């Protein structure tokens, strides 16, 4: 137990083992919640967009009978964190405005009279460290028959990403009773060529126009309600949205104890429809930033896709985008002989990679005036904190196949020309999968030249 505790504390020295064990139910979204103006079974943690905690969208289903997993590639987002410095500006401004008024007209705000804002910025919270530790444990338990050596682990160089990778390796090691002790082998510099980072396409745009349009539709009525509850606060719509995000951030940051705590009191300021509107704002943001709605969105995921193809085929990387050619050409820093790989990244980068692969295609662009209930683009299901994509390589009856899961949900791979119905949904022959990745493989980089034209 002491060795396990020492490993978990690698990135978060004040994380206790008792809390780790108790918090597992929180992470799996099993704790009953009570909110005002909502259905009894409503769980706001699935309406926090990219700030939602990891949950299994579907129960993991093992490969079909007669199929053997021969390789696993994991791409995982860092765990739950404090707000970024940019996001903190509106959060702190909103809290100060609410605390500056003389009188509240609604009791939901009374807690603010004694509330002290203590959140940090950017770094993992203890619960975020747990998410990666638990993920590492789950991977060993699920794929232990495949493992014959330490997994090869990479991370982009942001501190919360590096710490998440180290917590993952600690969880993997603990689950194996220290038979395997993987370490973070490669840290890709966010200042250089980095397939786990999405800031290298100079001409890439932002999602500000689209998110601002949706904000202007859903937020004014919420802002007016809060301003009526706190006369004189004069909140604006961006501060209102920031307060909804604070519900998520404060909840995650307040659970580092041996007794599982309730939702943040900020959550009680909002209704189910408020959370749904905020959640859709995250969908719009990701879709128009690095997703299909951005002209140069998915090209930012091409480098990783070509690295994935190299691992699946055992062939050198063929790419001219954001790959680090020096690292990828060296077997010590980009081996092709491992059965298990784990890479750690950010949500925006993962969305770009999903697009480059062809996952989560939409029949029409996301509307900025309201959600389409038939869409499959749900950020909280795609890239929650600790979210992950797993690419399994299988051998079934002498043929090699690929299967992709996102947060345990098997993807249909509708773009694959060879999807054998006798083996169920989601299997694509390896050769057909490689062929399907023409966008990433074309000229070694999709639309990459347009990033600098």
Residues composing the chain: 453
Q: Is-contact 135 386, C-beta < 8 A?
A: yes
The residue to which tokens 């964190």 are assigned = 81
Q: Are strands 409-410 and 428-429 parallel, antiparallel or unpaired?
A: unpaired
SS3 447: coil
Rounded distance between C-alpha atoms, residue 335 and residue 280, angstroms: 40
Q: Is 347 designated active site?
A: yes
Rounded distance between C-alpha atoms, residue 41 and residue 35, angstroms: 10
Rounded distance between C-alpha atoms, residue 291 and residue 401, angstroms: 26
Rounded distance between C-alpha atoms, residue 386 and residue 353, angstroms: 16
Q: What is the DSSP string of 150-163?
A: PPEEEEESSHHHHH
Rounded distance between C-alpha atoms, residue 404 and residue 393, angstroms: 9
SS3 43: coil
Q: Among residues 279, 283, 347, 447, which one is catalytic?
A: 347
For residues 16, 17, 23, 27, the Cα torsion angle rounded to the nearest 10 degrees is 100
- Give the Cα-Cα-Cα angle 89, 93, 99 (nearest 5 degrees): 150
Q: Among residues 43, 78, 274, 328, which one is catalytic?
A: 78
Q: Is 78 designated active site?
A: yes
Q: Are strands 67-77 and 340-345 parallel, antiparallel or unpaired?
A: parallel
Rounded distance between C-alpha atoms, residue 393 and residue 389, angstroms: 13
The one-character DSSP state at 406 is: E
Tell me which residue of 42, 37, 126, 39 sits closest to 79, measured CA to CA: 126
SS3 185: strand
SS3 224: helix
The residue to which tokens 């395997």 are assigned = 180
Which stretch of DSSP H or E encloses residue 72? strand 67-77
Catalytic residues: 78, 347
């Amino acid at each position: 137990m002491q060795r396990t505790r020492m490993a978990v504390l690698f990135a978060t020295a004040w994380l206790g083992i008792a809390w780790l064990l108790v918090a597992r139910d929180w992470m799996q979204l099993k704790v009953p919640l009570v909110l005002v103006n909502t259905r009894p079974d409503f769980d706001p943690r699935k309406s926090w967009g990219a700030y939602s905690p990891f949950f299994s969208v579907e129960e993991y289903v093992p490969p079909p009978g007669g199929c053997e997993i021969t390789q696993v590639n994991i791409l995982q987002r860092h765990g739950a964190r404090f707000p970024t410095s940019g996001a903190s500006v509106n959060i702190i401004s909103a809290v100060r405005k609410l605390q500056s008024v003389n009188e509240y007209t609604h009791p939901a705000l009374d807690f603010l009279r004694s509330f002290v804002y203590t959140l940090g910025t950017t770094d993992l919270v203890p619960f975020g460290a747990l998410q990666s530790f638990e993920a590492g444990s789950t991977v060993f338990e699920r794929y232990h028959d495949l493992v014959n050596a330490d997994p090869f682990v990479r991370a982009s160089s942001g501190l919360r990403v590096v710490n998440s990778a180290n917590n993952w390796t600690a969880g993997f090691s603990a689950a194996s009773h220290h038979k395997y002790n993987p370490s973070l082998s490669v840290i890709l510099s966010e200042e250089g060529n980095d397939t786990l980072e999405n800031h290298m396409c100079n001409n890439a745009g932002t999602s500000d126009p689209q998110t601002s349009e949706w904000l202007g539709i859903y937020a004014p009525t919420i802002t007016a309600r809060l301003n009526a509850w706190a006369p004189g606060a004069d909140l604006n719509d961006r501060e209102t949205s920031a307060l909804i995000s604070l519900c998520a951030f404060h909840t995650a940051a307040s659970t580092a104890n041996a007794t599982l705590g309730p939702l943040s009191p900020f959550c009680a300021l909002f209704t189910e429809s408020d959370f749904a509107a905020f959640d859709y704002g995250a969908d719009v943001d990701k879709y128009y930033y690095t997703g299909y709605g951005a002209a140069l969105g998915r090209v930012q995921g091409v480098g990783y896709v070509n690295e994935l193809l190299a691992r699946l085929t055992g062939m050198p990387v063929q790419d001219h985008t954001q790959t680090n050619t020096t690292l990828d050409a060296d077997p010590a820093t980009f081996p092709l002989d491992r059965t298990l790989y784990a890479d750690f990244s950010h949500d925006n980068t993962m969305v770009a990679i999903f697009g480059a692969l062809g996952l989560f295609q939409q029949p029409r662009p996301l509307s900025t005036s309201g959600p389409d209930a038939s869409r499959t683009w749900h950020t909280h299901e795609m890239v929650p904190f600790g979210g992950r994509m797993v690419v399994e390589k299988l051998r079934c009856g002498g043929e090699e196949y690929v299967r992709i899961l996102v947060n345990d949900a098997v993807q249909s791979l509708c773009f694959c020309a060879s999807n054998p119905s006798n083996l169920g949904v989601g299997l694509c022959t390896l050769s057909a999968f490689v062929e399907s990745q023409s966008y990433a493989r074309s000229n070694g980089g999709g639309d990459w030249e347009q990033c600098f034209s």
